[in-house]
Amino acid sequence: MTAFTSIGSLLSTPVLEGQVALRGWVYRTRSSGKIVFAVLRDSTGIIQVTIKKGNLPDAQFEEAVAASIESSVEVTGTMHQDGRAPGGYEVLATSFKVVGPALPFPITEYQSEELLLDNRHLWIRSREQTAVMKVKATLLAGAREWLAEQGFTEVTPPILTQNACEGGVTLFKLRYFDRDVFLSQSAQMYLESLIFALEKVYSITPSFRAEKSRTPRHLTEYWHLELEEAWTDNEGNMRIQEELVSAMVAKALKERGAELELLKRDIEPLKAVQPPFERLRYADMIALLRDKGFAIEFGADLGAAEERAITEDKGAPVFVTNFPKQCKAFYMKEDQDDPRTYKCADLLAPFGFGEVIGGSERETDLAKLLQRMEEQGIPQEPYRWYLDLRRFGSVPHSGFGMGVERMVKWVCNLEHIRDAIPYPRTVARAYP
């Protein structure tokens, strides 16, 4: 049996004596007469394979001449230094075999965004997409590692729910046998219940938002990292966030330098992502925005333009705290020092990337919760279980939700959030 070596390991530890065997897909190819230069791609990198007539059986040489882009192939050969080849090495083939031939590939160099999205199942093979997926996996691994070190337990909340955690406007309703349920917008309420057993919990689940707006930062299905901790106030909550975000970024810098370079991500600003992050009160932010010419009043929610204005000259993420109550959900804790506001914070990524996390201390006063629900016309029945949490050993607690694709968009410096997920779901698209 042949032992295949990955392209990445061949390039990092070249094998300059004896034969090597590799397999992958034809990334690009050109031939002239008696020689074929085929660049092969696998999950770890690209390398040039040079196929010379006479070095291998003629039938195999003809196979190499005919091998189209994205055909899967197996090659053996000898490895040599070559300054002109990508990575500085080439493999001189002694055997060449097409395993799965490819029809003419529908994606060529300059393509419309629509065509790329229609062919997403093929486009995800691109080097950029591959790099983004690796960075994303490393960010998630970094989060899980850090959270385990801090004593958090990963839990698995439901996706089908009767609760509208983030309000009725963006709910996807689903027929569930003889009644209606919703696709989860947030695991928060379930996480709140789980802290009574585990104290420090988090989950990584899909969340769904029926977002009608087409923006570069909204998906209808996204991955949500949510955390809830007992005995923690809003300040403690922000400390967890700044340390978690910094640990995730540090892990990506440590392990995904090559991918970030391929994505042309300037890593200097990422190195500046270190706790503590700046805290800016909403009211002070309004004053700042007014100085910048925004006609914005206390009470208005932040749009992308406002977030951009706040963060475009920041080098590191910034918390905006104490939003007015009318901007935020009913479950947040009132700030006794400024009862117009909640003890909450949004974390905005720098350079205009905007909100990546929303979080707060949670209201523990049952009467206040009931009053707000009444005012906002929220029915009590579906939340009976949630309100029980305030009746049976209620405890101060806080938590937050991080948009994983928002993090990826920022860390990889992507223009559009759809490139932070292999199969983006938006108002315009649920195929492929």
Least distance CB 133 / ligand 4AD (angstroms): 17
Least CB distance from residue 352 to ligand 4AD, whole Å?
A: 15
Rounded least distance, CB 222 to ligand 4AD, Å: 4
Q: Which does 142 bind (CB under 5 to 8 A by kind): ligand 4AD, Mg ion, none?
A: none
Backbone angles phi, psi at 321, to 5 degrees: -110, 170
Residue 311 vs residues 37, 248, 289, 351: alpha-carbon distances, Å: 47, 20, 11, 5
Pick one of Mg ion, ligand 4AD, none as the site partner of residue 229 (Cβ within 5 to 8 A by kind). Answer: none
**Cα 60 from chain centroid?**
43
Asked if 279 and 321 count as a contact pair (C-beta separation under 8 A), the reply is yes
State how far the alpha carbon of 352 is from the alpha carbons of 252, 322, 333, 385, in Å. 21, 21, 28, 39
For ligand 4AD, the closer CB: 7 or 357:
357
Which residues in 218-237 contact ligand 4AD (CB under 6 A)? 218-219, 222, 224, 226
Identify what 317 binds: ligand 4AD, Mg ion, none; CB under 5 to 8 Å per kind.
Answer: none
With 0-12 / 13-18 / 19 or more C-beta atoms within 10 angstroms meaning exposed / middle / buried, residue 61 is buried
Distance of CA 76 to the CA centre of its chain: 37
> What is 200-259 written as a DSSP string?
EEEEEEEEE----S--TT--SEEEEEEEEEET--HHHHHHHHHHHHHHHHHHHHHH-HHH
> Considering only CA atoms, which of 280, 323, 279 is closest in space to residue 301?
323
Task: Give least dist CB 185 to ligand 4AD, A.
Answer: 6
Max CA-CA distance within the chain? 86
CB contact at 8 A, 358 and 406: no
Site for ligand 4AD in 160-199 (CB under 6 A): 165-166, 185-186, 188
Quick note: the x/- pattern for Mg ion over 301-340, rule CB under 5 A, is ----------------------------------------
Q: Is 356 in the site for ligand 4AD (CB under 6 A)?
A: yes
Other CB atoms within 10 Å distance of the CB of residue 381: 6
Binding pattern for the stretch 19-58 against Mg ion, x by CB under 5 A and - elsewhere? ----------------------------------------
Rg of the chain over all Cα atoms, to the nearest angstrom: 26
Q: Does 253 bind ligand 4AD (CB under 6 A)?
A: no
Quick check: 209 and 218 in contact, CB under 8 A?
yes
Least distance (Å) between residue 112 CB and Mg ion: 32
CB 198 within 8 A of CB 228: no
* 349 part of the interface to ligand 4AD, by CB under 6 A: no
- Regarding 401 and contact with Mg ion (CB under 5 A), the answer is no
From Mg ion, ligand 4AD, none, which one binds at residue 399 (CB under 5 to 8 Å depending on kind)? ligand 4AD
Please, which residue, 22 or 227, has the CB nearer to ligand 4AD? Answer: 227
Sheet holding 200-208, edge to edge: 153-154, 200-208, 221-230, 397-403, 354-361, 344-349, 318-321, 278-281
x-or-dash string of contact with ligand 4AD, 304-343, rule CB under 6 A: ----------------------------------------
Q: According to the binding rule CB under 6 A, does residue 350 interact with ligand 4AD?
A: no
Residues lying near ligand 4AD in the complex (CB under 6 A): 165-166, 185-186, 188, 209, 211, 218-219, 222, 224, 226, 355-359, 399-403, 405-406
Q: Which residues bind Mg ion (CB under 5 A)?
A: 358
